[in-house]
Structure 1
Amino acid sequence: MEDHTEHVCIICGQTKEEGITIVSQFICEDCESEMVHTDTEDAKYHYFIHQMRQISMQTHV
């Protein structure tokens, strides 16, 4: 039986079915792939870091 639950991605804010969950935060497949392939000099890299900090902040609450 497949799980077709939709989750809201913490990076793009879109509702998707496929992706990963880190702690309790969902990242869709598209954003995960883009993050892995983004150069550290790219401005979007810093956006990804900012969004990922939400995960870190929630684990300290």
Structure 2
Amino acid sequence: MFHSTEKDEGTSQNKIYVASVLIGTPVGRLKMLGDEKSRLKDAHNSAASLMIRALQQG
């Protein structure tokens, strides 16, 4: 599993972050982008949460 910050823009008082999660699967790689968030930790959690949902849905 690999995670990264895809978007980091705005002023220090008004930052917007978007994170992604990349995992390897038996048939290739799966990448999920999270939602825009004002905190980096929340952006990473968003990407991870969306990845978990996608994997559960099959």
Bin the TM-score by the shorter chain.
0.3 to 0.5
Greater RCO, CA 8 A, separation 6+? 2
Taking structure 2 as the reference length, the TM-score comes to: 0.35
Bigger helix fraction: 1
